[in-house]
Amino acid sequence: MFFTASEEDIKSGKTTDFYFINTKKILEKKNINKNVVVEVTASSLPDNYRWGILSGLYEALLLLEGYNIDVSGLNEGSLFYPQEPVLTIEGNYKEFCDIETALLGFLCQSSGISTKSARLKKIVGDKQILSFGVRRMHPSIAPMIDRAAYIGGLDGFSCIGAEKITGKKASGTMPHSLMLMIGNSKEAFVSFDEIIDKQIPRIMLADTFCDEKIEALIAAENVKNLSGVRLDTPGSRRGNMSKIIQEVRWELDIRGYKDVKIFLSGGLDEDSFKSIKDADAFGVGTSVSNAKTIDFALDIVEVDGKPFTKRGKLSGKKTVLRCPKCGSGKITYGKTNEKCACGEKMKSIQINLMKKGKILVDFEDASNIRSNVLNQISKVEL
């Protein structure tokens, strides 16, 4: 048996932190039935990011479904700022205290991946950027990772397990192992072209046996509809990746292969993109799949209708306002609209997600969520 929790385990609280078991026991024995408002908020973001992208909400709602609680919050794929409650839950604390661990887990990891993906997509702009990093993470969460990366703004992903939950086909071409099995680049490229479905773009891996520009030319000269070459140059050979790309581009161009794209992968993160402007597309690995989590916390902010919270937190059920024009945000207590510094009227972006344990929202297609993410991040600076 793999060392993972099943869906039933998670739903029935089998992955909770032990101290919630104690809490529940005491509240039950002492018959403490208090209605609370709890908020899920990130006080700060990884590396002082200015904003994050919320994802994992649909799984969180599936977890909360059936509990006698009301839930409101931001929708899947919403841009949020630190201190803004992304989720607000109201109900008898005793009844749902032990689901906090799983709830935060769904939101923190997925949002961390979507946030990183949104940042990378904003950096590369119109160039293609794909998620290739599930191999370095536990396979049981591979679909979640690639979905979070895709809705965060990446253009595609490699894991076929994510196809079902995104409605989008996975993509990929050839690994080094195929090159080694065939034994030489030319034959590997030709075999790929001969056997693989014509709809799959011909992107040949051009760094296995010899210099990138030599293998790129072998690909260009032997594959008729070559879409691109992928450079996954090992770290030990990366003297100056930018120059390597320039050379490959030059050699392809002067021989008339201007349409052949250069696809770069291997150890890419935010800083990498500054020095590799000549590449046309990118594959990102652990910078996305192992992105820092968003450290959401769940805190009681009202007890029996009165603002009440711990040190370091703001009490009271809050409204999250957003400016539709410039994307600025603000939290208020009681006010549902306000004028933004830019002149536009800010409005609440919270929606009712659940009433007495019943989910009120339709789960949107991943591609729609992604479009919405791209729209929101176009209004804000990194």
Residues forming contacts to Zn ion in the complex (CB under 5 A) are: 323, 325-326, 328, 340, 342, 344
Q: To the nearest whole angstrom, how small is the minimum distance from the Cβ of residue 82 to Zn ion?
A: 18
Q: To the nearest whole angstrom, how small is the minimum distance from the Cβ of residue 378 to Zn ion?
A: 14
Q: To the nearest whole angstrom, how small is the minimum distance from the Cβ of residue 83 to Zn ion?
A: 18
At 30, the amino acid letter reads K
> Residue 330 — left, alpha, or beta (φ > 0 → left; ψ -120 to 50 → alpha)?
beta
Q: What interhelical angle do 212-222 and 241-254 show, nearest 10?
A: 30
For Zn ion, the closer CB: 136 or 325: 325
Maximum Cα–Cα distance across the chain: 81
Paired strand residues for 229: 204, 262
Q: To the nearest whole angstrom, how small is the minimum distance from the Cβ of residue 119 to Zn ion?
A: 21
Q: To the nearest whole angstrom, how small is the minimum distance from the Cβ of residue 329 to Zn ion?
A: 10
For Zn ion, the closer CB: 200 or 342: 342
For Zn ion, the closer CB: 279 or 340: 340
Torsion of CA 223, 228, 234, 237, to 10 degrees: 90
Q: What is the rounded CA–CA span in Å between residue 219 and residue 252?
A: 10
Burial class (CB in 10 A: 0-12, 13-18, 19+), 3: exposed
Q: To the nearest whole angstrom, how small is the minimum distance from the Cβ of residue 380 to Zn ion?
A: 11
**In this structure, are residues 324 and 32 in contact, taking their beta carbons and an 8 Å threshold?**
no
For Zn ion, the closer CB: 127 or 347: 347
Distance of CA 266 to the CA centre of its chain: 19
For Zn ion, the closer CB: 83 or 246: 83
For Zn ion, the closer CB: 128 or 332: 332
Q: To the nearest whole angstrom, how small is the minimum distance from the Cβ of residue 363 to Zn ion?
A: 30
Q: How far is CA 359 from CA 96, 284, 325, in A?
A: 16, 35, 30
Q: To the nearest whole angstrom, how small is the minimum distance from the Cβ of residue 317 to Zn ion?
A: 24
Q: To the nearest whole angstrom, how small is the minimum distance from the Cβ of residue 308 to Zn ion?
A: 32
For Zn ion, the closer CB: 292 or 379: 379
Question: Of 53, 37, 57, nearest to 45 (Cα)?
Answer: 53
Q: Which residues have a Cβ under 8 Å from the Cβ of 310 and sit 6 or more positions away?
A: 299, 300
For Zn ion, the closer CB: 204 or 323: 323
For Zn ion, the closer CB: 186 or 347: 347
Burial class (CB in 10 A: 0-12, 13-18, 19+), 212: buried
Q: Which residues have a Cβ under 8 Å from the Cβ of 106 and sit 6 or more positions away?
A: 56, 59, 60, 63
Q: How many CB atoms lie within 10 A of CB 292?
A: 16
The single residue listed with the structure tokens 């056997």 is 195
For Zn ion, the closer CB: 181 or 342: 342
Q: To the nearest whole angstrom, how small is the minimum distance from the Cβ of residue 216 to Zn ion?
A: 47
Q: What angle do CA 381, 282, 215 make, to 5 degrees?
A: 155
**In this structure, are residues 237 and 254 in contact, taking their beta carbons and an 8 Å threshold?**
no
